[in-house]
Chains A and B, each alone.
Chain A
Amino acid sequence: MRRARRSLVFLLVLIVGLAGLITYGVFRSDATWTPKLALDLQGGTQILLAAEQTDGESVSGDQLQQAVSIIRQRVDAAGVSEAEITTQGNQHISVSIPGKADEATLQRIEASAKLDFRPVLSTGIGIDLTEAAGEEDAAAEETATGDAEAAIDAGDAPADENLDPETIPESAGDLAWITPALQEKFDAFTCTSEEALDTRETAADRPLITCDETGTQKYILGPVELSGDVISDATAQMATTSTGATTGEWVVQIVMNKQGTETFGKISQRLFGAESPQDQFAFVLDGNVLSAPQMQAQILDGRPSISGGFTQDSAQALADQLKFGALPIDFTVQSQEDVSATLGTNQLSAGLLAGLIGLLLVVVYSLFQYRALGSLTIASLAIAAVLTYLLLTFFSWRQGYRLSLAGVAGIIVAIGFTADSFIVYFERIRDALRDGFGIESAVEHGWKRAFRTVLASDGVNFLAAAILFILAVGNVKGFAFTLGLTTLVDVVVVALFTHPMMTLLARTRFYRSGHRFSGLDPQRLGAVYRGRMEFRAPVVGKTASGKRNARSQKEAERRQTIAERKAAAGASTGKES
């Protein structure tokens, strides 16, 4: 009795405390009164990226975190507010952008590939020569052919299908990389062709045929000489003269780390003064040439700058790409979803409608099955709903949780599971009544057994939700989260509300007298052998003797009925044998 009141008070404190915390958050922090919605409910763009290390190894947690922060910088750089970037599982990154994301932002996120430096071996015009033949193109063609001849001379490679030279050339800038077969492929290559999309597949230690971003220039590049992660910073700035005056020209200033400084120094020594186009050094992002500047000096301090017709915007864009592309991880877009705001709103209201109908049906059914006791189910479900709502709002504020459509489904499904724990409890009380217990002791007795069952079954359910949450990707996570949360809420509500309320109700006249609408009418429940209106008499007392009395009563009753049953069963088995 006292314990029941204490439980109720504790629950009240819990709810008021949670509500108070959120109220505080709303006024003093960035909390909201409702859980934040995921993009499938509010409209927006959701992109799921898969990260893969280029050497085929699995991506470490640290690297994934680094990738997240890099993507966050990119998205923020685009001025998108409230973008959500999170890791999912051990190789997925989910990017959620409210509203419709513009093309530039999308490209910036998706262009999040590996940045490499490769020497330029040969160049050509990337558009189809047969269609756009002109003097200029022909000249470019000649250069390329010239290079090819040089390559044949130098490498002495046989003209077979092998794209790799027989002997591995000494340096990455060696023209021996260009075998006749590679040259043939290069000649046939156009930037608009299908192959142009596959350039990122090329291995780091092999030459690469690719185009620049605009698709007008094509290149043969040597193997990777330096990877992008040596870049520690890249900024767009005005070029200055030695006296410090600005020249008005935009350049991209790069700062390299120690290892990069060393290697780049050697490369610049080789490239400086080399014959064109072999004096060019290409920055390759996602298999496409970002920029292929000529080496105009030996750069030994690791602070190269790229100049050449930049506007402020183009310089800034290149600087961003260099800085943020310096991650040795490849991303592939696994799924992208643009959900219109109307569709999101529709789905939310449909989800809520489904929940409401489901709730109503459960309420009607439990009133039908458990009469007035059904009202306790309704009250418990209401408390569970309040608690779930507060917790979701709280997690949305503190943990950045967002309610998705799958999450809504999880909550609706949980209505059934939650109501089930009441059914288990009520059935146990009924069982105890059938055993001859008085209402009050039946409630206690039923509770002891029911709570154990509720804990065990909710434990299994929670285990399922937890494993789903940890392992699964995408909207499975949202579903698992709400399912797990509501399972915990269920245990709390059953223990701190339903049971204490039942204890208190059992003392009211309505239930104690076993009113026929109470759902606990001992007579209808078959608490037999005790004459009309006398069902309370033997076991109301809480004393030990009362209990013993109840037990013996129960035992006697069971013997009798079972004996009857066995007699019948025995007769039938007798026939069978």
Chain B
Amino acid sequence: MARSFAEFGNALYTGEKSIDFIGKRRTWYLISIVLIIVSIAGPLLRGGFTFGIEFTGGSQFQVHLSEGQDRDPAVAERAVLEVLPASAPRVTQLGQSDIRVQTEALSDAENREVTAALAAQYELDESEVTYSYIGPAWGQDVTRQAVIALIVFILFAALVMAIYFRTWKMSLAAIIALLHDLVITAGVYGISGFEITPAAMIGFLTILGYSLYDTVVVFDKIRENTAPGELNDRRTFAESVNLGVNQTLVRSINTSVVALLPVGSILFIGAFILGAGTLRDISLALFIGILVGAYSTIFIAAPTYAHLREGEAAITKRDAKVRRLREQRETGGAGAESEEASTVAE
């Protein structure tokens, strides 16, 4: 596999083998537009996103049980109703050894009573019960800050990239791909009903960095290929871009795999051992985001860039020249062949 992979890399590098990412861009655009529509419509049809307790406010208890202990949710429910007869606690089993109980926001005194009741029902020490209270404004605050961070980041990143690449079109293409990633990742959350928590938001915000990181690496190669010194009369602009994507394809695959491995292991550990929580929420958003980000760099960012540049007069002119020369070479080549043939005949 490794051998063929390296050879695959060679073929891509020399252009011997070339996947036509740019030429088939309409197909990718169509796929992405469909995905985006689904990502926006899906959550709406499902009735919006599922927000964690952090956004709705409330109290949450987590009981840590030792292994093998009976984890009957009814026990927890009984304990809560004992203290608060009118409440409707949500009890879920978490990971392999925890029970989570969510109620409406409780006062300090009520919280202590519930803690004591839960500990008594499960015959545990009170120190095994974790309690958290989230005020109704907390989620809004986090959201507001996250939105500010998102906007500030996009503006800064767009500026930095425009300066680094010396063209705002690369910057724009990268930002389009970034927004594409965010919308689709959020869509996956909305459709699958995964809870949106502040930790999941951290994940979303990290996608920002990752998506652009990935795009920057590929664009760097594209810039090299389309630098004035590198452009020759044998490749159109779009073909140069396509070559760049192909030349970095092995890197893109390797990078995405390497980024996904640790994230996947947090996701696995977080989901199966700990149950819901910071680790799972961060890694779930990241896992989806990295996959979508790797796709968008190749199939959206690069084609969009080529698309944006193709209309430029200088490039249209040059592309036309390249095509003309190519035709000449072909007919010339055919001529040479026939000449050769005639020489042989002589």
Contacts and interface: CB of A to CB of B under 8 A. Distances in A.
A365 to B, nearest CB: 6
Contacts of A368: 1-2
Interface stretch (A179-187, A245-253, A322-330, A427-435): A427-435
Contacts of A458: 213
B54 interface: yes
Contacts of B247: 431
A413 B266 CA distance: 9
Contacts of A336: 131-134
Given A40-B278, A103-B108, A335-B132, A419 B258 contact: yes
A434 B14 CA distance: 8
A419 B213 CA distance: 13
Given A103-B108, A361-B262, A334 B134 contact: yes
B145 A460 contact: no
Given A335-B54, A335-B132, A461 B269 contact: no
B277 A347 contact: yes
Interface residues of B, number: 96
A337 interface: yes
Interface of A: 40, 48, 50, 89, 92, 100, 103, 106-107, 110, 332-343, 346-347, 350-351, 353-355, 357-359, 361-362, 365-366, 368-369, 371, 405-406, 408-409, 412-413, 415-417, 419-420, 423-424, 427, 430-431, 434, 449, 452-453, 456-461, 463-465, 467-468, 471-476, 479, 483, 524-526, 557-558, 561-567, 569-571, 574
A524 B201 contact: no
Nearest to A409: B282
B163 to A, nearest CB: 10
B161 interface: yes
Nearest to A367: B2
Contacts of A465: 209
B46 interface: no
A452 B216 CA distance: 11
A566 B236 CA distance: 11
A567 B2 contact: no
A568 B43 CA distance: 46
B260 A343 contact: no
A100 B149 contact: no
Contact of B127 (A341, A431, A457, A467): A341
Contact of A525 (B10, B164, B202, B263): B10
Given A333-B133, A365-B258, A457-B217, A562 B265 contact: no
Contacts of A474: 142, 198
Interface of B: 1-3, 5-7, 9-11, 13-16, 18, 54, 62, 64, 98, 108, 112, 127-135, 137-138, 141-142, 145-146, 148-149, 152-153, 156-157, 160-161, 164, 198-199, 201-202, 205-206, 208-210, 212-214, 216-217, 220-221, 224, 234-235, 239, 247-248, 250-251, 254-255, 257-266, 268-270, 273-274, 277-279, 282-283, 286, 326-327, 329-330, 333
Given A335-B138, A337-B132, A524-B3, A355 B157 contact: no
B194 to A, nearest CB: 17
B64 A463 contact: no
A460 B161 contact: yes
Contacts of A464: 153, 157, 205-206, 208-209, 212
B128 A342 contact: yes
A467 B142 contact: no
A404 to B, nearest CB: 8
A525 B14 CA distance: 11
A366 B259 CA distance: 12
8 contacts: A333-B133, A335-B134, A351-B279, A362-B258, A417-B213, A423-B255, A464-B205, A467-B149
B201 to A, nearest CB: 7
B209 A340 contact: no
A453 B279 contact: no
B262 A406 contact: no
Contacts of A100: 127
A566 B278 contact: no
A110 B109 CA distance: 14
Contact of A357 (B161, B257, B265, B326): B265
Given A417-B213, A475-B202, A347 B130 contact: no
Given A334-B138, A342-B127, A570-B327, 13 more contacts: A103-B112, A334-B135, A350-B270, A354-B269, A354-B270, A365-B254, A413-B283, A430-B6, A460-B157, A460-B213, A471-B149, A474-B142, A525-B6
B266 A412 contact: yes
A276 to B, nearest CB: 34
B322 to A, nearest CB: 10
B278 A354 contact: no
Given A460-B216, A463-B153, A471-B148, A362 B262 contact: yes
Pairs A-B, 10 closest by C-beta atoms? A358-B262, A526-B10, A464-B209, A416-B259, A354-B269, A361-B261, A337-B132, A357-B265, A358-B265, A471-B149
B265 A416 contact: no
